[in-house]
């Protein structure tokens, strides 16, 4: 390890935050003897004096090429118009943001089956505005899938000891214990307005499943791509196929079993899903596909209420998802680094600004590979990673002219293929309560298996664990011991549902799908608004870049000028222009008005107010 290695700098700052104890597998030296403490590092690299928060872009300006939707009594922004309208209707009837979000969550399981789900998991950030009887607060609901009790650290290694990608993505072993149903029910129970029963919030989803929905927009786009995955399983063919082919554009998708499952949950609560016949059918389907999940695993599943991670960026407060998501921690880490640069002066989309973004992303993803995992099993040094002083040491290593190379790049690593496999929605109500929710089956349609007789598509979230230290998952993310498979553990996630506050008032609700690119997508929405003063529609639509340290590739969406790309290449970046990144369905609040922007990268998205 060279004296200037990024890992050394990481360790220096993390020591103070991490408890004394055995060092991680990747760390070969007794670091405590060689590295400065966090306090020493702070003296060496003073945090920046941050100028006053910049004024946000005017919400009502009509002088832009793209304009957000405006409303004053609430806003829902999701990846599917039918689901957005379900949420808007709940707001119209007097529901709060959580009521609407729960209804949207159940509706997306029907209308966006590639990512909306009952058989997956996710994270919901809830902001409750101050009211007569309480001060404002923000809560994180973790309804991430868990590893079945019979899971073992080496369950995704082949006999040669190498990662078995098919096992972790396409077999029953890939399925984590689903968290969505208990997660949404818990959100309703704790933070709903009390004006709606869970059954009333599930009813629109049940109706859409039973009456059927048109195969159009995003559904028509995604079904043909998933034909191979879904077609392997007779139970999935029964739902999504007709005459040997996936349902074509213009057909009607009816999901009767799913409607019955929703009805059972509406009548008997989440236990109807986690215990009894539905749970038994899910366990049987997983075991039939070679998996190890049991009905007891389902019965044991519980969501966790967590304290969000907090940071500040140019005077705004960033509040986001804590571990087992890596999202909030690294979003704040990257923003902390960027705070030292005059991005606005460099200009949106300039090679200078994009270079700084890329260079700030790399150390964060290197940290992710070493330090992040399920907080129930590993001490994640959140405070160290999100410290301004730590960012200052990382910033010192950034060269404004030259791209840093990743030390351990193995040549020819394929880029992870982007498709839209997770989904994010944002909801704000008239009182200023808000929900930022990202949930997923991991891959598009998960493992493609509908549990016979339930209509429930099953996730392949177990691939988010590291099959072994240093191995990459499907998104090319390197994982460490902290993210090893273990019974009951939650796999590390990148999902980053986020709020931004200005002077304590809700300002922005955002998040995105995109696998490893989620963190950098959310980052760029925030930077586009706060540094480049774009309105929300522009901030969401602007072309994005992504660098995740390994593989050493700067991914760029189309729409960045060839001149800029040439300048980035001249700085040493290995630029690849390719697939789109994310679907950041967002809401911004200002001066009593709400701006909504759904992401134009997908067909059929919608932001709408009541
Ligand atoms: O939790 C995670 O980070 C991943 N399972 C999310 C997958 C995802 O966003 C795929 N979407 N493109």
- Per residue in 256-278, pLDDT (tens digit) is 999 999 999 999 999 999 999 99
Q: Which helix (DSSP H) or strand (DSSP E) does residue 473 occupy?
A: none
**Residue 571 pLDDT exceeds 70:** yes
User: pLDDT, tens digit, for every residue of 466-506?
Assistant: 999 888 888 888 878 889 999 999 999 999 999 999 999 99
pLDDT at residue 147 greater than cutoff 60? yes
Pocket test for ligand 1, best of 226, 443, 494 (most atoms within 8 A of CB): 494
Q: In whole angstroms, what is the distance from residue 89 CA to residue 206 CA?
A: 15
Number of CB atoms found within 10 A of residue 75's CB: 35
User: 474: CA distance to ligand 1 center in Å?
Assistant: 10
Cis (ω within 30 of 0) for the bond into 534? no
- Alpha-carbon 73 to chain mean position: 27
- Does residue 437 contact residue 117 with C-beta atoms inside 8 Å? no
Taking the centre of ligand 1 as the mean of its atom positions, its distance from the CA of residue 458, in whole angstroms, is 14
The answer to whether residue 35 scores a pLDDT higher than 50 is no
**Atom in ligand 1 nearest the alpha carbon of residue 419:** 12
pLDDT of residue 60: 82
Question: Which of 229, 445, 475 to mutate for ligand 1's pocket (most ligand atoms within 8 Å of CB)?
Answer: 475
- Distance from Cα 517 to the centre of ligand 1, integer Å: 9
Distance 423 CA to ligand 1 centre (A): 9
How far is the centre of ligand 1, averaged over its atoms, from the C-alpha of 326 (Å)? 12
d(CA 72, CA 610): 8
Q: Which atom of ligand 1 is nearest to the CA of 513?
A: 9
* CA 404 to centroid of ligand 1, rounded, Å: 27
Which protein residue has the closest C-alpha to ligand 1 atom 9?
515
- Note if 422 is an active site residue: yes
On average, the pLDDT of the chain sits at 89
In tens, the pLDDT along 491-548 reads 999 999 999 999 999 999 999 999 999 999 999 999 999 999 999 999 999 999 999 9
Q: Which of 27-36, 207-216, 402-411 has the highest mean pLDDT?
A: 207-216
Higher-scoring residue by pLDDT: 567, 33: 567
State how far the Cα of 270 lies from the Cα of 267, in Å rounded to an integer: 9
**Residue 80 near residue 111, CB atoms below 8 Å:** yes
The pLDDT score that the predictor gives to residue 73 is: 97
Q: Residues 38-66: pLDDT tens digits?
A: 444 444 455 566 667 788 888 888 888 99
Q: DSSP state, 269?
A: -
Residue with tokens 């989904």: 423
Strand partners, 78: 606
Q: pLDDT grade, residue 357 (50/70/90)?
A: very high
Per-residue tokens: 3: 């004296």
| Helix or strand holding residue 418 (H, E) | none
How would you label 353-385 residue by residue, b for 16+ Cβ within 10 Å and e otherwise?
bbbbbbbbbbbbbbbbbbbbbbbebbebbbbbb
Least confident of 49-58, 428-437, 458-467, 565-574: 49-58
By CB neighbour count within 10 A (0-12 exposed, 13-18 middle, 19+ buried), where does 234 fall?
A: exposed
Cα separation, 127 vs 435, in Å, equals 6
pLDDT at 417 over 60: no
What residues flank ligand 1, with Cβ below 6 Å? Answer: 420-422, 440, 442, 461, 464, 493-495, 513-515, 518
Tens of pLDDT, residues 342-356: 999 999 999 999 999
Per-residue model confidence (pLDDT) at position 344: 95
Instruction: Please report, to the nearest 10 degrees, the dihedral formed by the alpha carbons of residues 244, 250, 256, 261 taken in order.
Output: 110
pLDDT for the residue numbered 82: 98
Q: Token digits for 311?
A: 């940071």
Q: Give the DSSP per-residue string, 24-89.
A: PTT--S-HHHHS--HHHHHHHSPPP-PPPPPPPPPTT---SSS--EEESSEEEEES-HHHHHHHHH
pLDDT of residue 550: 86
pLDDT at 2: 32
Contact 438, 423 (CB under 8 A): yes
Among 261, 294, 386, 422, the active-site one is 422
Ligand 1 atom 5: residue of nearest CA: 442
Determine the pLDDT at residue 539: 98
pLDDT of residue 416: 34
Going by alpha carbons, the residue nearest to atom 8 of ligand 1 is 515
Determine the Cα–Cα distance for residues 440 and 151; give it in Å rounded to an integer: 21
Which contiguous run of DSSP H or E holds residue 128?
Answer: strand 121-128
Percentage of residues of the chain with pLDDT beyond 70: 89
Q: How far is the CA of 329 from the centre of ligand 1 (A)?
A: 16
């Amino acid at each position: 390890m060279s004296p200037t290695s990024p890992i050394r700098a990481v360790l220096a700052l993390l020591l103070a935050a991490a408890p004394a104890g055995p060092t991680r597998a990747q760390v070969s030296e007794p670091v405590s003897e060689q590295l400065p403490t966090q306090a020493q590092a702070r003296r060496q690299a003073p945090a920046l004096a941050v100028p006053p928060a910049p004024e946000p872009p005017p919400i009502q300006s009509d002088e832009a090429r793209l304009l957000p939707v405006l409303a004053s009594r609430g806003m829902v922004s999701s990846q599917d118009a039918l689901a957005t309208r379900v949420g808007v209707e709940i707001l119209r009837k007097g529901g709060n943001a959580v009521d609407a979000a729960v209804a949207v969550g159940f509706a997306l399981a029907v209308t966006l089956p590639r990512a909306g789900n009952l058989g997956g998991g996710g994270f919901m950030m809830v902001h409750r505005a101050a009211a007569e009887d309480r001060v404002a607060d923000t809560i994180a609901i973790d309804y991430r899938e868990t590893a079945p009790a019979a899971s073992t650290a080496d369950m995704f290694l082949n006999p040669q000891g190498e990662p078995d990608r098919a096992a972790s993505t396409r077999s029953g072993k890939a399925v984590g214990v689903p968290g969505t149903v208990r997660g949404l029910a818990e959100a309703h129970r704790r933070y709903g307005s009390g004006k709606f029963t869970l059954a009333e919030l599930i009813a629109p989803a049940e109706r859409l499943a039973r009456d059927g929905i048109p195969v159009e927009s995003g559904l028509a786009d995604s079904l043909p791509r998933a034909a191979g995955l879904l077609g392997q399983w007779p139970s999935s063919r029964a739902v999504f196929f007709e005459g040997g082919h996936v349902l074509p554009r213009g057909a009607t998708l009816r999901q009767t079993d799913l409607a019955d499952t929703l009805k059972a949950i509406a009548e008997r609560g989440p236990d109807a899903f986690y215990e009894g016949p539905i749970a038994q059918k899910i366990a049987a389907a997983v075991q039939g596909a070679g998996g190890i999940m049991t009905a007891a695993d389902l019965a044991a599943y519980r969501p966790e209420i967590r304290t969000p991670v907090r940071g500040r960026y140019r005077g705004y407060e960033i509040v986001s998802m804590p571990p087992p998501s890596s999202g909030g921690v690294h979003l704040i880490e990257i923003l902390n680094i960027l705070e030292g640069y005059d991005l606005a002066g460099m200009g949106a989309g300039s090679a200078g600004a994009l270079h700084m973004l890329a260079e700030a992303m790399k150390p964060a993803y290197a940290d992710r590979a070493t330090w992040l995992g399920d907080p129930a099993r590993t001490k994640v040094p959140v405070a160290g990673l999100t410290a301004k002083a730590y960012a200052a040491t990382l910033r010192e290593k950034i060269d404004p002219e030259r791209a840093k190379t990743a030390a351990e790049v193995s040549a020819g690593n394929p880029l992870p293929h982007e498709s839209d496999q997770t989904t994010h929605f944002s909801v704000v109500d008239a009182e200023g309560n808000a929900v930022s929710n990202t949930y997923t089956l991991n891959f598009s349609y998960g493992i493609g298996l509908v549990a016979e007789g339930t209509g429930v598509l099953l996730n392949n979230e177990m691939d988010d664990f590291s099959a072994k230290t240093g191995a990459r998952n499907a998104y090319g993310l390197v994982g460490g011991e902290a993210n090893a498979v273990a019974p009951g553990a939650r796999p590390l996630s990148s999902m980053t549902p986020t709020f931004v506050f200005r002077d304590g008032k809700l300002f922005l609700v955002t998040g995105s799908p995109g696998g490893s690119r989620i963190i950098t997508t959310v980052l760029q929405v925030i930077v586009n608004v706060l540094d480049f003063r774009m309105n929300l529609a522009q901030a969401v639509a602007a072309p994005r870049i992504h660098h995740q340290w390994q593989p050493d590739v700067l991914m760029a969406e189309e729409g960045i000028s060839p001149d800029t790309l040439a300048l980035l290449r001249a700085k040493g970046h290995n630029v690849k222009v390719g697939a789109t990144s994310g679907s950041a369905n967002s809401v911004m609040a200002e001066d009593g008005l709400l701006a909504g922007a759904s992401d134009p990268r997908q067909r059929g998205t919608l932001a709408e107010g009541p």
